[in-house]
Structure 1
Amino acid sequence: MPRTVEFTVLVAAISFFGFFLYSFWTLTRRAPALDILSNEASDADRLPLPASSFVAMEYFWLILNRTFVVFSTPNALYGWKASGPVSNADRDYFQPLVEMTLDRELTQDLAAIRKLSELSGGFCIARSSIVSVESSYKSKWGMGGILHSGRVTITTNTRRSREFILLGSSADPDSIKDAIWNGR
Protein backbone atom coordinates (compact mmCIF):
# COMPACT_ATOMS: atom_id res chain seq x y z
CA MET A 1 0.00 0.00 0.00
CA PRO A 2 1.44 3.43 -0.86
CA ARG A 3 2.42 5.69 2.04
CA THR A 4 -0.20 8.31 1.18
CA VAL A 5 -2.99 5.74 1.40
CA GLU A 6 -1.70 4.49 4.75
CA PHE A 7 -1.48 8.04 6.04
CA THR A 8 -5.02 8.80 4.81
CA VAL A 9 -6.41 5.69 6.49
CA LEU A 10 -4.62 6.56 9.72
CA VAL A 11 -5.95 10.14 9.71
CA ALA A 12 -9.47 8.88 8.95
CA ALA A 13 -9.30 6.35 11.80
CA ILE A 14 -8.06 8.96 14.28
CA SER A 15 -10.74 11.43 13.15
CA PHE A 16 -13.47 8.81 13.48
CA PHE A 17 -12.29 7.82 16.93
CA GLY A 18 -12.12 11.48 18.03
CA PHE A 19 -15.62 12.20 16.70
CA PHE A 20 -16.95 9.05 18.39
CA LEU A 21 -15.48 10.06 21.76
CA TYR A 22 -16.81 13.62 21.45
CA SER A 23 -20.31 12.35 20.55
CA PHE A 24 -20.29 9.87 23.42
CA TRP A 25 -19.15 12.57 25.87
CA THR A 26 -21.85 14.98 24.64
CA LEU A 27 -24.61 12.38 24.99
CA THR A 28 -23.57 11.36 28.50
CA ARG A 29 -23.53 15.02 29.62
CA ARG A 30 -27.08 15.54 28.29
CA ALA A 31 -28.56 12.46 29.95
CA PRO A 32 -29.12 14.04 33.40
CA ALA A 33 -30.92 17.05 31.87
CA LEU A 34 -33.12 14.79 29.78
CA ASP A 35 -34.01 12.76 32.89
CA ILE A 36 -34.99 15.94 34.76
CA LEU A 37 -37.04 17.26 31.86
CA SER A 38 -38.93 13.98 31.45
CA ASN A 39 -40.15 13.82 35.08
CA GLU A 40 -43.65 14.95 36.00
CA ALA A 41 -43.96 17.90 38.36
CA SER A 42 -45.71 17.37 41.66
CA ASP A 43 -48.33 19.88 42.77
CA ALA A 44 -46.17 20.83 45.77
CA ASP A 45 -43.34 21.93 43.46
CA ARG A 46 -45.49 24.02 41.12
CA LEU A 47 -45.09 27.77 41.03
CA PRO A 48 -48.40 29.67 41.01
CA LEU A 49 -47.25 31.59 37.91
CA PRO A 50 -44.71 30.49 35.31
CA ALA A 51 -41.18 31.72 35.97
CA SER A 52 -39.91 34.32 33.56
CA SER A 53 -37.25 32.68 31.47
CA PHE A 54 -34.84 33.54 28.70
CA VAL A 55 -31.91 32.11 26.77
CA ALA A 56 -28.61 33.92 27.13
CA MET A 57 -24.96 33.58 26.27
CA GLU A 58 -22.18 34.51 28.65
CA TYR A 59 -18.54 34.99 27.71
CA PHE A 60 -15.73 33.62 29.87
CA TRP A 61 -11.96 33.45 29.53
CA LEU A 62 -12.11 36.35 27.07
CA ILE A 63 -13.32 34.50 23.95
CA LEU A 64 -15.11 31.34 25.08
CA ASN A 65 -18.86 31.27 25.63
CA ARG A 66 -21.59 29.20 27.19
CA THR A 67 -25.34 29.24 26.75
CA PHE A 68 -27.81 29.28 29.62
CA VAL A 69 -31.53 28.93 30.04
CA VAL A 70 -32.24 31.34 32.89
CA PHE A 71 -35.34 31.19 35.11
CA SER A 72 -36.38 34.09 37.34
CA THR A 73 -38.43 32.87 40.33
CA PRO A 74 -39.62 34.73 43.45
CA ASN A 75 -36.67 33.43 45.52
CA ALA A 76 -33.77 33.16 43.09
CA LEU A 77 -32.38 33.40 39.60
CA TYR A 78 -31.58 29.89 38.32
CA GLY A 79 -29.40 29.12 35.33
CA TRP A 80 -28.98 25.85 33.49
CA LYS A 81 -25.89 25.59 31.30
CA ALA A 82 -27.49 24.13 28.20
CA SER A 83 -24.48 24.40 25.92
CA GLY A 84 -20.76 24.92 26.14
CA PRO A 85 -18.70 26.91 23.67
CA VAL A 86 -20.34 27.38 20.28
CA SER A 87 -19.30 29.05 17.04
CA ASN A 88 -21.40 31.00 14.61
CA ALA A 89 -21.53 28.05 12.20
CA ASP A 90 -25.11 27.36 13.34
CA ARG A 91 -26.52 30.79 14.11
CA ASP A 92 -29.90 29.40 15.23
CA TYR A 93 -28.58 26.69 17.56
CA PHE A 94 -30.48 28.22 20.51
CA GLN A 95 -33.99 28.06 18.99
CA PRO A 96 -34.96 24.76 20.70
CA LEU A 97 -33.97 26.36 24.01
CA VAL A 98 -36.14 29.40 23.30
CA GLU A 99 -39.05 27.02 22.68
CA MET A 100 -38.36 25.41 26.08
CA THR A 101 -38.82 28.79 27.76
CA LEU A 102 -42.36 28.87 26.37
CA ASP A 103 -43.26 25.51 27.96
CA ARG A 104 -45.62 26.36 30.82
CA GLU A 105 -45.13 22.94 32.45
CA LEU A 106 -41.38 23.48 32.72
CA THR A 107 -41.52 27.12 33.79
CA GLN A 108 -43.88 26.25 36.66
CA ASP A 109 -41.88 23.21 37.82
CA LEU A 110 -39.63 24.62 40.55
CA ALA A 111 -38.09 21.23 41.34
CA ALA A 112 -36.98 20.75 37.72
CA ILE A 113 -35.65 24.31 37.55
CA ARG A 114 -33.60 23.75 40.72
CA LYS A 115 -32.27 20.40 39.52
CA LEU A 116 -31.25 21.85 36.15
CA SER A 117 -29.36 24.66 37.89
CA GLU A 118 -27.50 22.10 40.00
CA LEU A 119 -26.06 20.37 36.93
CA SER A 120 -22.47 21.11 35.96
CA GLY A 121 -22.00 24.77 35.04
CA GLY A 122 -25.40 25.85 36.37
CA PHE A 123 -25.98 28.54 38.94
CA CYS A 124 -28.39 29.86 41.53
CA ILE A 125 -28.31 33.49 42.60
CA ALA A 126 -30.45 34.23 45.64
CA ARG A 127 -32.74 37.18 45.07
CA SER A 128 -31.51 38.76 48.32
CA SER A 129 -27.95 38.89 46.96
CA ILE A 130 -28.83 40.81 43.76
CA VAL A 131 -27.97 44.49 44.23
CA SER A 132 -28.42 45.76 40.68
CA VAL A 133 -29.77 44.74 37.29
CA GLU A 134 -28.96 46.76 34.20
CA SER A 135 -30.27 46.33 30.68
CA SER A 136 -28.89 47.43 27.34
CA TYR A 137 -30.15 47.17 23.78
CA LYS A 138 -26.61 47.49 22.39
CA SER A 139 -25.37 44.55 20.38
CA LYS A 140 -22.38 42.64 21.69
CA TRP A 141 -19.18 42.74 19.72
CA GLY A 142 -17.90 39.32 18.67
CA MET A 143 -21.25 37.55 18.33
CA GLY A 144 -20.49 36.69 14.70
CA GLY A 145 -24.02 36.98 13.37
CA ILE A 146 -25.74 35.07 16.19
CA LEU A 147 -29.05 36.89 16.63
CA HIS A 148 -29.31 38.71 19.95
CA SER A 149 -31.46 41.56 21.22
CA GLY A 150 -29.34 43.11 23.97
CA ARG A 151 -27.82 42.37 27.33
CA VAL A 152 -28.68 42.16 31.00
CA THR A 153 -25.98 42.61 33.65
CA ILE A 154 -26.58 41.37 37.19
CA THR A 155 -24.41 42.49 40.11
CA THR A 156 -24.47 40.71 43.47
CA ASN A 157 -23.59 41.90 46.97
CA THR A 158 -20.18 40.21 46.56
CA ARG A 159 -19.52 42.71 43.71
CA ARG A 160 -19.54 39.93 41.18
CA SER A 161 -21.29 40.80 37.95
CA ARG A 162 -22.54 38.58 35.15
CA GLU A 163 -23.39 39.83 31.70
CA PHE A 164 -26.00 37.80 29.85
CA ILE A 165 -26.36 38.36 26.10
CA LEU A 166 -30.02 37.76 25.26
CA LEU A 167 -30.31 35.34 22.35
CA GLY A 168 -33.04 35.69 19.73
CA SER A 169 -34.98 38.70 18.54
CA SER A 170 -37.94 38.47 20.93
CA ALA A 171 -36.06 38.84 24.23
CA ASP A 172 -36.66 42.35 25.57
CA PRO A 173 -33.85 43.54 27.87
CA ASP A 174 -36.05 45.94 29.87
CA SER A 175 -38.79 43.34 30.43
CA ILE A 176 -36.21 40.78 31.56
CA LYS A 177 -34.61 43.36 33.87
CA ASP A 178 -38.03 44.07 35.42
CA ALA A 179 -38.80 40.35 35.79
CA ILE A 180 -35.49 39.78 37.60
CA TRP A 181 -36.01 42.79 39.89
CA ASN A 182 -39.61 41.86 40.67
CA GLY A 183 -38.91 38.17 41.17
CA ARG A 184 -41.14 36.91 38.43
Structure 2
Amino acid sequence: MNSSPNSDRSRLARELHDGLAQELAALGYRLDAVIGNPNLDQPSRTELRNLRATTSAMVQQVRNEIFDLRNESDRSIAQSISQMLPQLLSETEIKYEISGEIILLKDKHYDLLRTIRELILNSKQHANCRNIEITLDATQIKYRDDGNFDNKKEREGFGLLGIKERLAKIGATLQQQDSTFVLEFK
Protein backbone atom coordinates (compact mmCIF):
# COMPACT_ATOMS: atom_id res chain seq x y z
CA MET A 1 0.00 0.00 0.00
CA ASN A 2 1.47 3.34 -1.06
CA SER A 3 1.04 6.40 1.09
CA SER A 4 0.77 9.97 -0.09
CA PRO A 5 3.64 12.44 0.32
CA ASN A 6 1.47 14.44 2.75
CA SER A 7 0.79 11.43 4.98
CA ASP A 8 4.49 10.50 4.89
CA ARG A 9 5.39 14.03 5.91
CA SER A 10 2.82 14.03 8.73
CA ARG A 11 4.13 10.67 9.99
CA LEU A 12 7.72 11.96 9.90
CA ALA A 13 6.69 15.14 11.74
CA ARG A 14 5.05 13.03 14.47
CA GLU A 15 8.13 10.81 14.76
CA LEU A 16 10.43 13.83 15.00
CA HIS A 17 8.22 15.41 17.66
CA ASP A 18 7.73 12.27 19.72
CA GLY A 19 11.34 11.11 19.40
CA LEU A 20 14.18 13.46 18.58
CA ALA A 21 12.54 16.70 19.75
CA GLN A 22 11.62 15.19 23.13
CA GLU A 23 15.07 13.64 23.61
CA LEU A 24 16.84 16.90 22.78
CA ALA A 25 14.58 18.83 25.16
CA ALA A 26 15.32 16.29 27.92
CA LEU A 27 19.05 16.63 27.22
CA GLY A 28 18.70 20.40 27.60
CA TYR A 29 17.00 20.01 30.99
CA ARG A 30 19.74 17.63 32.15
CA LEU A 31 22.38 20.14 31.07
CA ASP A 32 20.53 22.86 33.01
CA ALA A 33 20.67 20.70 36.14
CA VAL A 34 24.42 20.12 35.80
CA ILE A 35 25.07 23.80 35.03
CA GLY A 36 23.22 24.70 38.24
CA ASN A 37 25.55 22.58 40.39
CA PRO A 38 27.35 25.03 42.73
CA ASN A 39 30.44 22.76 42.87
CA LEU A 40 31.03 22.98 39.11
CA ASP A 41 34.22 24.81 38.09
CA GLN A 42 33.88 27.85 35.82
CA PRO A 43 35.57 26.42 32.67
CA SER A 44 33.26 23.39 32.80
CA ARG A 45 30.23 25.62 33.40
CA THR A 46 31.16 27.75 30.38
CA GLU A 47 31.56 24.69 28.16
CA LEU A 48 28.26 23.24 29.37
CA ARG A 49 26.51 26.55 28.67
CA ASN A 50 27.87 26.40 25.12
CA LEU A 51 26.56 22.85 24.80
CA ARG A 52 23.20 24.01 26.19
CA ALA A 53 23.02 26.78 23.59
CA THR A 54 23.81 24.26 20.85
CA THR A 55 21.13 21.92 22.19
CA SER A 56 18.58 24.76 22.23
CA ALA A 57 19.45 25.61 18.63
CA MET A 58 19.01 21.95 17.67
CA VAL A 59 15.60 21.83 19.38
CA GLN A 60 14.54 24.92 17.44
CA GLN A 61 15.82 23.43 14.20
CA VAL A 62 13.81 20.24 14.79
CA ARG A 63 10.71 22.32 15.62
CA ASN A 64 11.17 24.30 12.40
CA GLU A 65 11.49 21.04 10.50
CA ILE A 66 8.30 19.71 12.09
CA PHE A 67 6.50 22.93 11.15
CA ASP A 68 7.77 22.72 7.56
CA LEU A 69 6.71 19.08 7.29
CA ARG A 70 3.20 19.84 8.51
CA ASN A 71 2.62 23.10 6.67
CA GLU A 72 2.96 23.58 2.96
CA SER A 73 4.60 26.87 2.29
CA ASP A 74 3.02 29.66 0.28
CA ARG A 75 6.49 31.11 -0.24
CA SER A 76 8.38 30.72 -3.47
CA ILE A 77 11.49 28.58 -3.49
CA ALA A 78 13.66 31.75 -3.71
CA GLN A 79 11.87 33.21 -0.67
CA SER A 80 12.29 29.96 1.24
CA ILE A 81 16.01 29.78 0.43
CA SER A 82 16.44 33.47 1.32
CA GLN A 83 14.84 32.81 4.70
CA MET A 84 16.91 29.69 5.34
CA LEU A 85 20.37 31.01 4.40
CA PRO A 86 20.86 33.52 7.24
CA GLN A 87 19.94 30.86 9.80
CA LEU A 88 22.31 28.27 8.36
CA LEU A 89 25.21 30.67 7.84
CA SER A 90 24.78 32.86 10.94
CA GLU A 91 28.06 31.82 12.57
CA THR A 92 30.12 32.13 9.39
CA GLU A 93 31.42 34.88 7.15
CA ILE A 94 30.07 33.16 4.03
CA LYS A 95 28.35 35.56 1.65
CA TYR A 96 25.56 34.39 -0.62
CA GLU A 97 23.63 35.47 -3.68
CA ILE A 98 20.34 34.15 -5.00
CA SER A 99 19.03 35.03 -8.44
CA GLY A 100 16.04 33.98 -10.49
CA GLU A 101 12.81 32.28 -9.50
CA ILE A 102 10.99 29.03 -10.13
CA ILE A 103 7.30 28.28 -10.12
CA LEU A 104 7.05 24.79 -8.67
CA LEU A 105 4.36 22.35 -7.88
CA LYS A 106 3.94 22.12 -4.12
CA ASP A 107 5.04 18.48 -4.10
CA LYS A 108 8.58 19.44 -5.22
CA HIS A 109 9.08 22.52 -3.05
CA TYR A 110 9.94 20.70 0.17
CA ASP A 111 12.37 18.22 -1.38
CA LEU A 112 14.19 20.86 -3.41
CA LEU A 113 14.47 23.08 -0.35
CA ARG A 114 15.89 20.19 1.71
CA THR A 115 18.38 19.48 -1.09
CA ILE A 116 19.56 23.09 -1.15
CA ARG A 117 19.84 22.99 2.64
CA GLU A 118 22.09 19.92 2.45
CA LEU A 119 24.30 21.60 -0.18
CA ILE A 120 24.59 24.71 2.01
CA LEU A 121 25.56 22.61 5.03
CA ASN A 122 28.15 20.75 2.93
CA SER A 123 29.62 24.09 1.82
CA LYS A 124 29.67 25.35 5.39
CA GLN A 125 31.18 22.23 6.93
CA HIS A 126 33.48 20.86 4.24
CA ALA A 127 34.30 23.37 1.50
CA ASN A 128 35.92 26.22 3.42
CA CYS A 129 34.18 28.61 1.05
CA ARG A 130 33.62 32.36 1.19
CA ASN A 131 30.75 32.68 -1.30
CA ILE A 132 27.69 30.70 -2.35
CA GLU A 133 25.72 31.41 -5.53
CA ILE A 134 22.28 29.96 -6.21
CA THR A 135 20.70 30.54 -9.61
CA LEU A 136 17.11 29.49 -10.24
CA ASP A 137 15.43 29.13 -13.62
CA ALA A 138 12.53 27.25 -15.17
CA THR A 139 13.97 23.72 -15.11
CA GLN A 140 17.06 23.85 -12.93
CA ILE A 141 18.78 25.17 -9.86
CA LYS A 142 22.51 25.85 -10.12
CA TYR A 143 24.39 25.84 -6.83
CA ARG A 144 28.03 26.90 -6.63
CA ASP A 145 30.50 27.71 -3.89
CA ASP A 146 34.10 28.90 -4.17
CA GLY A 147 35.52 26.48 -1.64
CA ASN A 148 37.94 23.61 -1.79
CA PHE A 149 35.90 20.67 -2.98
CA ASP A 150 37.27 17.20 -2.26
CA ASN A 151 35.36 15.15 -4.84
CA LYS A 152 36.57 11.77 -3.55
CA LYS A 153 35.61 12.59 0.02
CA GLU A 154 32.14 13.79 -0.98
CA ARG A 155 31.49 10.77 -3.19
CA GLU A 156 32.04 8.54 -0.19
CA GLY A 157 29.65 10.48 2.06
CA PHE A 158 25.96 9.96 2.70
CA GLY A 159 25.03 13.58 1.95
CA LEU A 160 25.23 13.36 -1.84
CA LEU A 161 23.64 9.92 -1.84
CA GLY A 162 20.72 11.31 0.18
CA ILE A 163 20.43 14.26 -2.20
CA LYS A 164 20.31 11.97 -5.25
CA GLU A 165 17.70 9.74 -3.61
CA ARG A 166 15.56 12.74 -2.62
CA LEU A 167 15.76 14.20 -6.13
CA ALA A 168 14.98 10.86 -7.81
CA LYS A 169 11.81 10.68 -5.70
CA ILE A 170 10.52 13.86 -7.38
CA GLY A 171 11.85 13.08 -10.87
CA ALA A 172 14.87 15.38 -10.64
CA THR A 173 18.58 14.74 -11.18
CA LEU A 174 21.87 16.08 -9.87
CA GLN A 175 24.85 16.88 -12.08
CA GLN A 176 28.12 17.82 -10.45
CA GLN A 177 31.40 19.31 -11.57
CA ASP A 178 33.83 20.26 -8.82
CA SER A 179 31.89 22.60 -6.52
CA THR A 180 29.04 23.34 -8.94
CA PHE A 181 25.85 21.33 -8.65
CA VAL A 182 22.97 21.49 -11.12
CA LEU A 183 19.59 20.17 -10.02
CA GLU A 184 17.40 19.51 -13.06
CA PHE A 185 13.69 18.81 -12.86
CA LYS A 186 10.56 18.73 -14.98
TM-score by length of 1: 0.31
Higher relative contact order, structure no. (Cα contacts within 8 Å, ≥ 6 residues apart)? 1
TM-score by length of 2: 0.31
Higher helix share: 2
Higher strand share: 1
